Structure 1
């Protein structure tokens, strides 16, 4: 079975090619850097993290030189699913999955709004995540 969750035979049948051709193409895509890896899609609610939010963060002008450092620090937190560096009004967008609203509030207070480098945060709750066409794992 390949790391995609399908065997080479199953994947080949889905796209209408021979399994050996499929294996060679997947290997070539990995070697060329088109495919960077494979991942499991975890249901946050199933592991006790049913509340998700996107938090826009604006840094103090004096802290913008440390943007990468701030982003990497946030990415180390267990609540954080993704961190995006942005252009525009906000500097960082943080996707978090937490147990409940008190845990979300604690995360924002402890790791964002009370930090001296943070000028502003805006939290938006995620009600549902709809995958765009072509992004579903195969």
Structure 2
């Protein structure tokens, strides 16, 4: 539950920005830091690409629009199809199963959506979903 709350806190802070400026640093001091965080690259998740059935959430804890994608072809096609809708919703994107920050930066620049590398396992476990891509908004989860 603590990891889920941390993710939501980060999401709320990211929501205030149009697009989160991500940069890659190769600073030795930064490389020596070993901070345990649900955010960072590489990100591995138990979640897989698959069908998500529309479902009403049994919580009001998540009250902003969040979407979850990977960097696989299915997720990227879904992102392109839903880009305008996600922008209109001011949705925050969680990218999972990704190995490099450069890929996330390129996607963020291309689609003009705020994207964060996140292990989504605590979130998906909380909403009882195992697959992505998906949107969490308006008290429901759907694809």
Global fold match (TM > 0.5): no
More relative contact order, 1 or 2 (CA 8 Å, 6+ apart) = 2
Q: TM-score range by the shorter chain?
A: under 0.3
Which has more strand, going by share of residues?
Answer: 1
TM-score (norm 2): 0.23
TM-score (norm 1): 0.23
